[in-house]
Amino acid sequence: MTTTSDRPWLASYAPGTPAEIEVPDEPLVASLVRAAEQHPDRVAVDFLGRETTYAELLVEVERAAGALHGLGVRAGDRVAIALPNGRAHVVAFWAVLRLGAVVVEHNPTYSAAELEHQLHDSGATVAVCWEQTAARVCEVRARTAVTTVLAVDISRDLPWRSRLALALPVPAARRTRAKMRGPAPSGALPWHTVLAHAEPLAPDHPYPASGDVALLQYTGGTTGTPKGAVLTHRNLVANAVQGAVWTGLQSGSETIYGALPFFHAFGLTLCLAFATRVGATLVAFPTFDPDAVLRAQARRPATFMPGVAPMFDRVARAAEERGTDLRSIRVAIAGAMPIPAETAERWERLTGGLLIEGYGMTETSPVALGNPCTPDRRPGALGLPFPSTEIRIVDPEDPARDVAAGERGELLVRGPQVFSGYWQRPEETAEQLLDGGWLRTGDVVTMDDDGVVTLVDRIKEMIIAGGFKVYPSQVEDHLRTMPGVADVAVVGVPGGDLGEKVVAAVVLEDPTRTLDVAAVRAWCEQRLARYAVPRELVIMTELPRSQIGKVLRRVVRERVLAGDAPA
């Protein structure tokens, strides 16, 4: 029996949120079939105004699955998808899963070398790519297992009026064509043509089992060489069910904005898979653009929007300037980084809804914790473990030992959304997955008496200065309050007699002004221990970030060591 004594967070759950969920014994694609049966005429995907109902989507998915089967794709085979958000991405994703094959998501803007590493590692045999990506895939194809490249012209999925406008011989149309299209290489097959001539998959083609692999999602790009996290249908179904009970979204009545990239675990689950689970309309944006979001809000108002802090800040500011009504958005969930108090205040004032923070990683499909969708949520905290999710806080040097209540320690997570390991990397899997199914997150956290978890920092990014542990996030949080500082990243580099020295990389609000290390040290000495005070200052015009906006401290450190960022 589950009690609040062994899981103190349960007492902080929103009313009606269950402690446990029942994970259906079904593949993820079953949610699409069910949505098409229950809500056939509801719009499943809105791509820049082009509407596709659930009934139409299922027909297209069956045809795409038939096309892939005709190209030799079988159950268990890996199929690479390198596409922006859009109708084609949704169709390709579900078609691969319908076959019982494995989706391998890729960032379509990756270089040829980055794509080669992941394609070679996964052993994907077919790649469904954006036209602008197809040339890079064809360039490296001979050094991978890829035999077929399907090039997608995403402009083919626009409303017919937009397609006609795109063909006009005017500068605006030419600029838009250049953004959306690319010269497809001769070695690639046109996606839409292949689908037009394909037969639907045989109705009796078997569905995958819940324990089968559904997705290889590459992770580790912020800290090193990416590796493929193996996620099963059960993992993804579990996280979708957890998200549904946590947010309280209603089946067949929601509109979810897909502004996060689907090739990232956060966008794939919280937008694409989650929308289908609850029979929602998914509004897909090929790139994040506040103006496009506001145009969509006027056309098809959102009720739920996952994102990251900079997205919410830009949309809120733009809406405030234009007077756009955002009050349809009841819940927004942010991940990857803390939400500045100013952003949260502006968003909630304009929407009248909640902006809550969640936490997870690719290895947890990806959400493991979240703030409750009530006014009692804790801004700045990671939140509470999701239903059916257990956590421990342990000594990073001895993960078998739990730390005392309230002490800092490494967060361990166990639940139905936790992955089964890294693709073809048994040693790294053993390091990350402990006996009993506990996942080492690599994050240092604390938990209060109410079960609320707060992030301290990443273990791998912790700095050891003079034998003391320095948590970059704490130094950054203080420096962000310094007048004139727009953004900051703190890293450790070898040097001096302290092992590592603390370096602050700062972006100034006014690039014409200056800032010296003495001023930074004086500011930090007000609140920080002497060993945590930065010894060097680097001024940057902007900080390197991941595709979803997370600061890449590893890249900052490399630039500091290389002397690429002038002080």
Per-residue pLDDT of the chain (567 residues; tens, 9 = 90+): 455 668 999 999 999 999 999 999 999 999 999 999 999 999 999 999 999 999 999 999 999 999 999 999 999 999 999 999 999 999 999 999 999 999 999 999 998 988 999 999 999 999 999 999 999 999 999 999 999 999 999 999 988 887 777 777 778 767 877 777 788 788 999 999 999 999 999 999 999 999 999 999 998 644 457 899 999 999 999 999 999 999 999 999 999 999 999 999 999 999 999 999 999 999 999 999 999 999 999 999 999 999 998 899 999 999 999 999 999 999 999 988 778 889 999 999 999 999 999 999 999 999 999 999 998 888 889 999 999 999 999 999 999 999 998 999 999 999 999 999 999 999 999 999 999 999 999 999 999 999 999 998 888 888 888 777 888 988 998 999 999 999 999 999 987 655 789 999 999 999 999 999 999 999 999 888 888 999 999 999 999 988 777 889 989 999 999 886 644
In the numeric block, the tokens 């297992």 are attached to 145
Q: Is residue 351 part of a domain?
A: no
- What is the SS3 assignment for 534? coil
Q: Of 221, 217, 225, which Cα lies nearest the Cα of 422?
A: 217
Question: From the centroid of its chain, how far is CA 147?
Answer: 29
For residue 86, give the amino acid letter. Answer: G
For position 495, what pLDDT does the model report? 76
For position 423, what pLDDT does the model report? 98
Q: Is residue 211 part of a domain?
A: no
Q: Which two tokens mark 47?
A: 């791509």
What are φ and ψ of residue 387, in 5° steps? -55, 145
Q: What span, in angstroms and rounded, lies between the C-alpha atoms of 175 and 444?
A: 46
Q: Of 297, 142, 264, which Cα lies nearest the Cα of 549?
A: 264
Q: Of 250, 209, 190, 159, which Cα lies nearest the Cα of 24?
A: 209
Q: Is residue 391 part of a domain?
A: no
Can you give the residue range of the structural domain that contains 506? 465-562
Q: Is residue 483 part of a domain?
A: yes
Q: Which two tokens mark 20?
A: 């446990």
Q: Is residue 502 part of a domain?
A: yes
Q: Which two tokens mark 391?
A: 């956590």
Measured over the CA atoms of residue 186, residue 188, residue 191 and residue 193, the dihedral's sign is positive
Whether a cis peptide bond, with omega within 30° of 0, leads into 338 is no
The count of other CB atoms within 10 Å of the CB of residue 564 is 11
CATH code for the domain of 491 = 3.30.300.30
Write the secondary structure of 496-544 as one string of H (helix), E (strand) and C (coil): CCCEEEEEEEEEECCCCCCCCHHHHHHHHCCCCCHHHCCCEEEECCCCC
The total of structural domains in the chain comes to: 1
Q: Of 509, 505, 481, which Cα lies nearest the Cα of 491?
A: 505
β-pair type (227-232, 255-258): unpaired
Q: What span, in angstroms and rounded, lies between the C-alpha atoms of 264 and 246?
A: 21
CA distances from 78 to 225, 274, 343 (A): 20, 22, 40
In the numeric block, the tokens 């006609």 are attached to 164
Q: Of 69, 49, 72, 51, which Cα lies nearest the Cα of 61?
A: 69
* Angle separating helix axes 54-70 and 30-38, nearest 10 degrees: 140
* pTM listed for this prediction: 0.87
The count of other CB atoms within 10 Å of the CB of residue 1 is 4
Longest dimension (CA), the chain: 72
For residue 224, give the amino acid letter. Answer: G
Q: Of 301, 300, 256, 302, which Cα lies nearest the Cα of 278?
A: 256
For position 63, what pLDDT does the model report? 99
For position 498, what pLDDT does the model report? 56
In the numeric block, the tokens 């959304």 are attached to 417
Q: What span, in angstroms and rounded, lies between the C-alpha atoms of 564 and 538?
A: 10
Q: Is residue 296 part of a domain?
A: no
For residue 179, give the amino acid letter. Answer: K
Q: With 0-12 CB in 10 A as exposed, 13-18 as middle and 19+ as buried, what is 541?
A: exposed
Q: What span, in angstroms and rounded, lies between the C-alpha atoms of 554 and 313?
A: 25
Q: Is residue 506 part of a domain?
A: yes
Could you tell me if 29 and 207 are in contact, meaning their C-beta atoms sit under 8 angstroms apart?
A: yes
Q: What span, in angstroms and rounded, lies between the C-alpha atoms of 181 and 154?
A: 7
What are φ and ψ of residue 127, in 5° steps? -125, 125
Question: From the centroid of its chain, how far is CA 560?
Answer: 27
Q: Is residue 540 part of a domain?
A: yes
Q: What span, in angstroms and rounded, lies between the C-alpha atoms of 77 and 364?
A: 23
